[in-house]
Amino acid sequence: MSESTITVRRLTALSGALRVGVGLFALAKPNTLVTLWVGRVRPQKSSAVLGRALGARDVAIGAGTVTSAFSDQPVTGWLVAGGTADAVDALATVGSWRRLPRVRRGLVLAAAGGSTAAAAALAALVAWTEGTGR
């Protein structure tokens, strides 16, 4: 494996680890995550369900990304899955723009859009360094 491939795989593993961290936060504090995104939801039991679902999604995608990156398995599928999930989050935010808290909606859109772009960039780097994009 070339030095550039190793570097890209380490970056990919780091992105997966960050996603696991966000997911674990959502599992531990589901109402906080939902409140950051959409504002207060009543009853809180409803927001906890959504927060935990999002958290589990991110833990699964992140763990798959990290595992694949360190075991020399294909990682592109995990990057596409994460980028797609984040793109849907961004589109959902735009679709509900007027109903979301003013400052938070911009932050969520920036985070989801940035994560989508990062996943696309990493997938392109993986393709380039591993010979599938040349």
Please give the share of the chain, as a percent, with pLDDT higher than 70: 98
**Conformation bin of residue 35: beta by default, left when phi > 0, alpha when psi is -120 to 50:** alpha
Structure tokens at 50: 């959504």
Give a yes or no: residue 133 inside a domain. Answer: no
pLDDT tens profile 113-130: 999 999 999 999 999 998
pLDDT tens profile 71-129: 989 999 999 999 999 999 999 999 999 999 998 999 999 999 999 999 999 999 999 99
Q: At residue 134, does pLDDT exceed 50?
A: no
Q: How much is the pLDDT for 132?
A: 64
C-alpha span between 65 and 27 (Å, rounded): 19
Of the given ranges (37-41, 61-65, 95-99, 116-120), which has the lowest mean pLDDT?
37-41
CB atoms within 10 A of CB 69: 25
Residue 101: domain span = 3-128
- Whole-structure pTM value: 0.91
C-alpha span between 17 and 4 (Å, rounded): 20
Give a yes or no: residue 134 inside a domain. Answer: no
**Closest listed residue to residue 81, CA positions, set 103, 98, 65:** 65
Give a yes or no: residue 17 inside a domain. Answer: yes
Give Rg (Cα) of the chain: 16
Give a yes or no: residue 81 inside a domain. Answer: yes
What DSSP character marks residue 43? S
Mean pLDDT of 14-24: 98
Q: At residue 46, does pLDDT exceed 90?
A: no
